[in-house]
Amino acid sequence: MTNINQRPIPTGVPVEQQEQFLAAYPVGPDGDMDANLPVSDKSFVATWLFAWLLGFFAVDRFYLGKTGTGLLKLFTFAGLGSWWLVDIVLTLGGVQHDKQGRKLAGYRQHKKVAIIVTLAVTALSLLIGGISSGANSPDTTSAVAPAADAPAGSAEDIAVAEDAPVVEETPVQTDTVQSWADDAFGTFAPVTQTGAGDNLVTLPAGATAGIVTATHDGSSNFAISVLDAANASTGQLLVNTIGAYTGTTEYGFNSMGDDATLQITADGNWSLTITPISTAPVLAASGVGDGVFLYEGSAGKLSATHDGSSNFAIIEETDEAFSMGLLVNEIGTYSGTVPLSSGPSAIVVSADGNWTMVAE
């Protein structure tokens, strides 16, 4: 019979060493599986943040050295979202270990804060979403009808009223979606740079996000990633393709640091034009490949199609705290309708084929 307190064997421990592992790290006196486990050099806080913020890209799994399940999680888009949630729960519950089966450093010290922050942010996000939906509901208050017993005007009064000049109301000046983009993400003078092969391009100062329009005429890997001032990754891979490329994408919406430099990996000639988010065109009905657009309509539905064979994703960035803007994330062809938040917002499309988008 199996002992209910028998420690499960971590996936990283070879078969020939499993008995030694159980003998070296027995279960604690109160059934605590982790009581006698060695401490990993991998941080609980880092694993929690990676699982929560970058879980769809399996960064948490790769960080723990679990390359096999990391690749599986990445290529299945975190099990269509379910794996992302499971790994957050496993990490917060202390069940997640590194590849060698060691417990994560700092779990006992930081688990309460991590759990409270996760629950608080989730609750606040739901609350903000509910308030935003209520604020954008149409006003159905009807105009007040005149009283039935109100005295009718005389013929002279009616004639005067008909002859009176029509005074046009001055329209109220409202902020445009371009003004919103400049206020939310900053502005700068456009920058254009060309080159060949690998290189680094300094991002313009004075903005937290921007648009990158790129071309490449080589035949091998072409990639654009974002680095901070210390040349560490900020977690953004803007472009990653093979061969020729022409498209428009963005940096800054999902950055894990202060963006400072674009790292170019290329085997051919390339060109980059970096512009403020406010320069993006309004949401287009159709297009090909990657693109960035502005939307200022009301909340509703977004119907989209895609005829490509690679990843097709649509993200809506509203600049609201804790907003989860991943609307579509599919491989290959797609046809469907998803919820769309009210503008002003930016819509980012990642595609390798023809696509259509209709906001209703």
Tell me: the pLDDT tens digits for 100-120? 888 888 887 888 888 999 888
Helices H / strands E in the chain, number of each: 9, 18
* CA–CA gap between residue 344 and residue 173 (Å, rounded): 16
pLDDT band at residue 143 under the 50/70/90 scheme: very low
- Per the document, the length of the chain is 360
Q: Which CATH architecture has domain 177-278?
A: Sandwich (2.60)
Surface-to-core class of residue 188, CB atoms within 10 Å of its CB (0-12 exposed, 13-18 middle, 19+ buried) = middle
Give me the residues paired with residue 186 across strands.
207
Reported as a single tens digit per residue, the pLDDT across 269-314 is 999 999 999 999 999 999 999 999 999 999 999 999 999 999 999 9
* Fold category of 281-359 in CATH: Jelly Rolls (2.60.120)
Pure H helices in 54-144 = 59-63, 67-75, 77-80, 82-92, 107-135
Residue 320 is predicted with a pLDDT of 75
Half-sphere exposure of 131 (CA within 13 A, CB side): 8
Q: Token pair of 171, please?
A: 């329209």
Residue written as token pair 């696509």: 355
Q: Please give the model's pTM, rounded to 2 decimal places.
A: 0.54
| Pair 300, 359: CB distance under 8 Å | yes
Domain ranges of the chain: 20-108, 177-278, 281-359
Could you say which DSSP state residue 50 is in?
H
Q: Is 94 a residue whose pLDDT tops 70?
A: yes
- Written as six digits, the tokens of 55 are 């879980």
Cα–Cα dist 75/165, whole Å? 68
- Domain 177-278 matches domain 281-359 at the CATH topology level: yes
**Cα–Cα distance, 119 to 111 (Å, whole number):** 12
Asked if 210 and 274 touch (Cβ cutoff 8 Å), the reply is yes
Sign, Cα dihedral of 277, 283, 284, 288: positive
pLDDT, greater one: 74 or 224: 224
CA 169 to chain centre: 42
